[in-house]
């Protein structure tokens, strides 16, 4: 495994993030334990979860289930908690909440304090390294939320603040507000980005780089469309998505499969390697359902894509033309 710093912080994280959304929904607790144990053996030490994970799938028992599974895994000891850089998120409403009118999606000091305490209980830990706002709240009060972050950081319950699904302008607003408070502010943004979704190249990625923020990528395989067999899938969510693809996208994925075949690498690993090649990207999130899928994905950090291959991928999946405004203005 390879490691890098998370944005401008001094904290080292693995170049792949273990995503846990499948834990308790598509992977049993036993399978989830095995995946996490193997992740540590392979050097994947950056784990990402959220308070709302655990709902849906074949096994889903409700929101919060995934954090509970991770907490029971930590409780086994063996330096499991000490070896993990743990990230979780808050924003959405939880099941069976007694909050009443405050049990709605959003960001506030109230929500941060209540969500953090509940997550720490489920995770059976006294802190999280990265506490992320799961989505932008357009009514966010930066003084309020940053004061709350500073308070929980002073207690040692949170080490760093992060965001997810924010726009470039929101990152700029946050940076300006943090600067006025002489506060570190947001150190990372978790965002959708992959070969099929390159719009972040216009504003989000350049802004994050300018601000010294790390970028964690969710859905690096675009829901499995950039994984082997996407066009031939016959069941499940991936098959449903494949059936709705345009002729243009199907042709792109077919050409992409040809390139990967020539490279002797899987489509999923080439997609991950393409992300890792970008200096703006800290790490993509992988969401294995089995130990085997985890082991296959880890190989991506060893793949070196040459300039000719990167050019071919740009031809197949053309981006917006670079960053704004030069991508569309003189």
Residues designated as active site: 53
Please enumerate in sequence order all residues whose Cβ is within 8 A of that of 78, keeping only pairs 6 or more positions apart, or say none. Answer: none
Q: Is the peptide bond preceding residue 325 cis, with omega within 30 degrees of 0?
A: yes
Q: How many angstroms separate the CA atoms of 189 and 102, rounded?
A: 25
CA Rg value for the chain: 20
Whether residue 180 contacts residue 142, with contact meaning beta carbons closer than 8 Å, is answered with no
Q: How many helices and strands, by DSSP H and E, does the chain display?
A: 12, 10
Q: How far apart are CA 185 and CA 214, in angstroms?
A: 12
C-alpha of 179 from chain center: 26
Q: Which residues of 117-136 are buried (b: 16+ CB within 10 A; e: fewer)?
A: ebbbebbebebbbbbbbbbb
Q: Report the distance separating Cα 256 and Cα 160, nearest Å.
A: 38
CA distance 80 to 40: 8
Q: In degrees to the nearest 10, what's the CA dihedral of 232, 234, 239, 240?
A: 140
């Amino acid at each position: 495994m390879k490691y890098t710093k998370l944005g401008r912080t001094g904290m080292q994280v693995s170049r792949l993030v273990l995503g846990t959304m499948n834990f308790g929904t598509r992977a049993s607790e036993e399978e989830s334990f095995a995946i996490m144990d193997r992740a540590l053996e392979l050097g994947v030490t950056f784990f990402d979860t959220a308070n709302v994970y655990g709902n849906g799938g074949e096994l889903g028992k409700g929101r919060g289930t995934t954090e509970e599974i991770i907490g029971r895994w930590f409780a086994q000891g063996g330096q499991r908690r000490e070896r993990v850089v743990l990230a979780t998120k808050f924003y959405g409403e939880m099941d069976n909440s007694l909050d009443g009118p405050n049990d709605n999606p959003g960001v506030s000091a109230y929500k941060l304090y209540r969500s953090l305490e509940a997550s720490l209980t489920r995770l059976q830990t006294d802190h999280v390294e990265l506490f992320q706002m799961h989505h932008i709240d357009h009514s966010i009060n930066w003084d309020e939320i940053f004061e709350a972050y500073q308070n929980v950081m002073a207690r040692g319950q949170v080490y760093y603040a992060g965001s997810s699904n924010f726009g470039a302008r929101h990152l700029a607003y946050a940076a300006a507000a943090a600067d006025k408070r002489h506060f570190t502010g947001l150190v990372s943004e978790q965002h959708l980005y992959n070969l099929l979704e390159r719009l972040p190249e216009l504003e989000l990625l350049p802004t994050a780089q300018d601000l010294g923020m790390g970028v964690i990528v969710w859905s690096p395989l675009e829901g499995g469309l950039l994984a082997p067999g996407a066009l031939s899938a016959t069941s499940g969510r991936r098959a449903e998505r494949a059936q709705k693809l345009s002729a243009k996208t199907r042709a792109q994925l077919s050409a992409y499969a040809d390139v990967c075949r020539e490279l002797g690498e899987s489509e999923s690993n080439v997609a991950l390697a393409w992300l890792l090649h970008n200096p703006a990207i800290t790490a993509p999130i992988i969401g294995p359902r089995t130990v085997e899928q985890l082991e296959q994905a880890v190989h991506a950090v060893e793949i070196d894509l040459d300039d000719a291959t990167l050019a071919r991928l740009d031809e197949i999946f053309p981006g917006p033309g670079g960053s704004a405004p030069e991508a569309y203005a003189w």
